[in-house]
Amino acid sequence: MITIDSNQVLIERFDRLEEVQTSKIIVHDQTGKFIIEGSSLRVKLFCKDEILILGKIDSVRLIRNEANR
């Protein structure tokens, strides 16, 4: 599950964190990978099954796994 607001993204039941930059964060889950783009991005909360990303969110894209297409 993903919840998106203008200044935060919460992803529950994620599998792994691939990349963290102040302008882009990539998170994988069972569906595929989420690419969060914006500015001043940072990981505020990082738990076993959820991640909270804060900053100015410009876009959130999902690239589905081949098996989920």
Residue pair 53/4 in contact by the 8 Å Cβ criterion: no
Q: Encode burial over 4-21: b for 16+ CB neighbours within 10 A, e otherwise.
A: eeeeebbbeebeeeeeee
pLDDT at 68 over 70: no
Residue pair 31/60 in contact by the 8 Å Cβ criterion: no
CA dist 5 and 8 (Å) reads: 5
pLDDT at 9 over 70: yes
| Domain range list for the chain | 2-68
Q: Considering the entire predicted model, what is its pTM?
A: 0.90
CATH architecture of 2-68: Sandwich (2.60)
For 67, residues 6+ apart whose C-beta sits below 8 A from its C-beta are: none
pLDDT band at 69 (very low <50, low <70, confident <90, very high): low
Encode pLDDT of 29-66 as tens digits: 999 999 999 999 999 999 988 999 999 999 999 999 88
